[in-house]
A = this chain, B = another copy of it.
Amino acid sequence: MPKTIAVIGGTGNEGPGLALRWAKSGQYQVIIGSRQQEKAERVAAELNARLGEDLIRGLVNPDAAAAADLAVLTVPYSAHAPTLKSIRAGLTGKILVDVTVPLQPPKVSRVYIPPGGSATAEAQALLGDDVRVVAAFQNVGAAHLGDPDHPIDCDVLVCGDDKEAKAEAIALAEAAGMRGLDAGPLQNAAVAEGLTAVLIAINKRYKVKAAGIKITGLESGVESTE
């Protein structure tokens, strides 16, 4: 039986595209989580219409987290702590993949390092040791995510202190059509997150829409990550 993923805050920019790709891969059962049941159901229905199958369901965030094997958090930084508190009870023993980028609007092309070192480190501190938190997917722009047939020219940097959790996130990247790379310990999430502000600065400066990053120099030595 495939694992169930809850995409918490899954009605925003990044969530629906990721949910669509994971559902389409056939490797996961997918739940869209939202603060409102209605909104979760509406977005799930829209994605199912695009898939031509009822593969995705919608639930309020706490129920989505409780029903899932692993959770992916895609919320604006301003909603990060409150959302984590609302789903904490359902996450015990599970893996949380944190996609949150700590930006300070309106200065979204400036790197902001939050008090806890990174959003992901703050999530780990808030959730405690019973949840394994990894950072991933911050640098993948929403521009092409929603079209599952559009290739995404961006690697997914995965940072965390738990090997198994990192392997899960790398598998999620691959299921969504991207290369996931183990980018070191949780402490490195500061860079994976901050790189998003750098990419936004580059988008503005060079008048493009979906600057991304690729890690080079791996050709000779990539280990299997599965």
Chain A residues in contact with chain B, CB under 8 A? 109-113, 117, 141, 153-154, 157, 159, 181-185, 187-188, 190-192, 194-195, 197-199, 201-202, 205-218, 220-223
Known: A113-B117, A212-B216. A205 touches B223 (CB 8 A): yes
Q: Is the CB of B197 within 8 A of A191?
A: yes
Known: A113-B117, A207-B221. A201 touches B188 (CB 8 A): yes
Q: Is the CB of A215 within 8 A of B213?
A: yes
Q: Is the CB of A205 within 8 A of B184?
A: yes
Q: Is the CB of B202 within 8 A of A198?
A: no
A221 to B185, CA, bound (A): 34
A206 to B109, CA, bound (A): 31
Known: A191-B191, A214-B213. A183 touches B207 (CB 8 A): no
The complex is assembled from copies of this chain, and their number is 2
Q: Is the CB of B207 within 8 A of A211?
A: no
9 CB-based A-B contacts, threshold 8 Å: A110-B188, A112-B187, A141-B217, A153-B217, A159-B198, A202-B215, A205-B223, A206-B221, A207-B221
Nearest residue in B to A210 (C-beta to C-beta)?
A: B217
Q: Is the CB of B201 within 8 A of A221?
A: no
B-side contacts of A199, CB under 8 Å: 215
A141 to B212, CA, bound (A): 21
Which of B159, B190, B206, B222 is in CB contact (< 8 Å) with A206? B222
B-side contacts of A190, CB under 8 Å: 111, 113, 190, 194
Q: Is the CB of A216 within 8 A of B213?
A: yes
Which of B110, B141, B184 is in CB contact (< 8 Å) with A109? B184
B-side contacts of A202, CB under 8 Å: 181-184, 215, 218
